[in-house]
Every structure is written in structure tokens, then in C-alpha cells.
Structure 1
Amino acid sequence: MSESISEIVNRRSPSLNEQAWLALRHRLITLRYKPGDYLNTAQVMEDLAMGRTPVNQAIHRLATEGLLHIIPRKGIMVAPLSIDDALELIEVRLVNEGLCLELASQKANEAQIGQLRELNQQIAAAGEARDREKMMLLDREFHQALAEIAGNSRLTDILSVIHAQAQRFWAMTLSSVAHIDEVIAEHNEIIAALAAGDTQRAAEAARAHIYSFKRALLAT
């Protein structure tokens, strides 16, 4: 049986505020809350089964990350999606994720490589089961692990925001089995580049992964 969002969140026993942020962000990136929708705080509290303070903290944090818009006298709107936004995001990803993999290729150890392989196997299993939400959660863990291996805290913060924004677009492409297979293969190439300690190959693998995302998005 697939893990629920609460089970995955509770692995690391985060604070209540972080639990609310993770749970609300998950609903946004998986498009349970649709782009352009207006949200009611009371309804979000009910959906998350959480109190007003952590939900309000999560809303404001996600607004700073570009996933929500707080509109005076109107309320909270889920940030819309547009192709122009996606293309700008791709440009930013190419620079930052390329740097991430260059750094990670110089630092990755065997245990970290093993963790990435295990995560990618789990992503493949979730893809075969057509469990989109679990696949997205595991993909987030995979990219977070890459950022942690890179070992630059400022870059990690930047990548966390970028990846959350990118996943909303990625959710639109996951009906394609061919694209899911491409993602698994691209992750394997990233892992191989890190295992070889090959900086140039790692940067090229990052670019290939992002251009694949672009092709899949434009094909939807």
C-alpha cells in the first residue's frame, strides 16, 4: 500500500508549522488545489485537519515561494500556471541544477549513491503502479538528496523553491508512460555521473533532464 502524505511527513517528525507547510505544498504541487483557484483558510484547515496558526504560517511561507498569492480583500489564490512561467523556470533550473550536480559530483560518497539508487527504484515502482502522488513525493526526495550532497545551504534553499514550482508543471505530464520512463533513465544517468565523479557528465545529465521536462511539457 502506498504511503500517505502524513506518513511520509512524519518520518522526520517536523514541527507543526512545517507539517502544515509540507501538507499544503503537496496539495499545490500535485494540483489538488488547481491553479487560479481561490482558497478559504477555514476549508484548508479542515482539509489538513490542522489549526489556524500553522495553516496561516504555511500560507504566508508558500506565498513567498510563489505558489500562492495573497490578494487584499479577496483572499488566497493558487498561483496560475503559464507557458511563459514554465520557460522562465527552465532557464533558472538549467543554471542552478547544473551547478548542483557539478558540486555533487565532487562530493558524493558510496552511501549517498546507494540512497539515490534506492530512491530511483522506488520512483520507478510508483510509476509502474500509476501512483502519481507517491512518485512526486519520491522525486522531491531525490532532488533534495542531490542538493544535500552538493553541500551548499543557499543553493539548497533556492532549489527547494524552484523544484516545488517545477513540480506543478511536471504533474501535467505524468499521464505519459514514455515520459515517466525517460525520467527514470535520466535519474540513472545522473547517478552514474556522480558515481564516476565526472563533473562535465553530471552537468550534461542535469541539462538533459531539464530539456526532457521541457519537451514533455510542450507536448501536453
Structure 2
Amino acid sequence: MTELTKQTKGERAYAMLEEQIVTLQLPPGQLVSEKMLSDHLGLGRTPVRDAIKQLSREGLMVILPKRGIMISEIDVLRQLELLEARREIERYVVGAAARRCKAGERSRFLELADLMLEAAAMHDGEGFLKLDKEFNERILIAARNRYASAMMRLVQGLSRRFFFAHHQSTTSLAEIARLHAGIAEAIARRQEREAREWLDRLIENVETFTRATLDTV
């Protein structure tokens, strides 16, 4: 779809850096510079600078005056705080997506449900995360509320990185995929109440998983 394929250089820089941070290729605590990232991505300084500002707003980077840029640390307690806000905002968003989803959008939600289940069956955490990113973006497009979308984007990267860092030791990828598939199918069928119920189950699972990491870190 147009919304997902057309990217400016700044958006491309953001997408590349966000993926590398979420998948720990750029690990928590690493110090980087604008020039280093520009050379690494093969993009100019201006789009990279714009991406850094956005990632800083989302909590994935920390700008350190006169020292450079640090990839933010993973903080379990902050993640639990994030989940409190995410639950309420995301309940609205998935309900709105189910209510406003257009006919042309529904088939992709059903495809994503199947693809996420397949990724989980193959124990492909990184592949699942890529599908999850598209899934999240399509939900925001279908919800058609720019303010709710802006709020959700502030927490999605941190949530995905936390999951990638800890899911192998504390949760079942198959169960997470099943819950995501339930949301996707409910949205595709325009079942607003069911979409929210699946979301509630997902957030409960993620909160349990997050608390479990306190015993493993």
C-alpha cells in the first residue's frame, strides 16, 4: 500500500536505525555519532539527523551533549510503566481499526495473521518482529486517528525491542503470535469488541512476560 511503500530519505534512515536498535544490532548503551551512522547507512547527515531526533523522542536513543548519542538502556520498570499507558491507548486504536477498516485493508490483516503464526512455528523471532511492525502500522492506518497514532508510535519501538531481547527466555512466541493473529482476524471481520478482548489478552501476556524478566536480568 502507498502509505507503507513511499519513503523519504529521512523515513528510510529512521526505519533502518529503528530495526537495528530493536533487533539489538545496535546494542543498549552503545555510543554512536551522527557521522558514524551516516557512513553506516550510506545516507546523508540530514536524514540521519532527523531519524536521530525521532528515535530520541521515542526513547530508543539518548542525545548526550558534547559526547554523542547513546542507544538507550533496557529498563524493566520503565517497560511496566509504558504498558500501563499502552493498554488504554491501544484498546482504543484496535477498536477504531475494526470499526473503520476498509474492504481493501482486511485481506492483508488475514494474511498477516497467517504469516505471524508461520514465523512463530519456525521460531523466527526476527521475522515475526518485521511482520509485527507492519501489523502495527496497518492498525494505525486503519484506525484513522492521527493523535492516537502519534501516541502509539512513541511506545512501539521500545515494546518491540524489549520483546526481542527477552522473549526466548520468558515467553512462548507461538502464544504471542496466536494473540496477534486473534486481533488481526477480529479487525478484518470488523469485530470491535473481539479485537479489544484479544488486545486485553495480549497486554496481560506481555505484562506477565515483562514481570518475569525481573527474575532473569
* Residue 12 of structure 1 pairs with residue 5 of structure 2: yes
- Unpaired runs of 5+ residues, structure 1, are 1-10
Match of 1:155 among 133, 139, 148: 148
* Residue 84 of structure 1 pairs with residue 77 of structure 2: yes
Match of 1:102 among 95, 101, 104: 95
2: CA distance, partners of 1:88 / 1:80: 15
Distance 1:20 1:104, change over 3 A: same
Aligned residues: 210
Query: Quick one: which amino acid aligns to residue 194 of structure 1?
Result: I
Percent identity between matched residues is 26
TM-score normalized by the length of structure 2? 0.87
* Residue 183 of structure 1 pairs with residue 193 of structure 2: no
Query: Quick one: which amino acid aligns to residue 64 of structure 2?
Result: I
Structure 1, residues 84-137: CA drift from partner, whole Å, max 9, x if none? Answer: 111111001101110112212222344423211111222233334443333211
3-state SS of 1:31 partner: coil
Structure 1, 87-96 or 165-174: larger mean CA deviation: 165-174
Matches within 5 A, 1:108-147: 108-147=101-140
Distance 1:181 1:129, change over 3 A: closer
**Aligned residues of 2:83 and 2:203 also touching (Cα < 8 A):** yes
Distance 1:113 1:123, change over 3 A: same
**Aligned residues of 1:45 and 1:55 also touching (Cα < 8 A):** yes
3-state SS of 1:175 partner: helix
Distance 1:41 1:187, change over 3 A: same
1: CA distance, partners of 2:200 / 2:34: 39
**Aligned residues of 1:179 and 1:216 also touching (Cα < 8 A):** no
Matches within 5 A, 1:203-214: 203-214=196-207
2: CA distance, partners of 1:81 / 1:173: 10
Residue 211 of structure 2 corresponds to which residue in structure 1? 218
Residue 56 of structure 2 corresponds to which residue in structure 1? 63
Query: Quick one: which amino acid aligns to residue 120 of structure 1?
Result: A
- Unpaired runs of 5+ residues, structure 2, are none
Distance 1:83 1:176, change over 3 A: closer
1: CA distance, partners of 2:5 / 2:98: 26
Distance 1:12 1:196, change over 3 A: closer
Q: CA-atom RMSD, angstroms?
A: 2.1
Distance 1:131 1:48, change over 3 A: farther
1: CA distance, partners of 2:192 / 2:128: 27
Residue 65 of structure 2 corresponds to which residue in structure 1? 72
3-state SS of 2:142 partner: helix
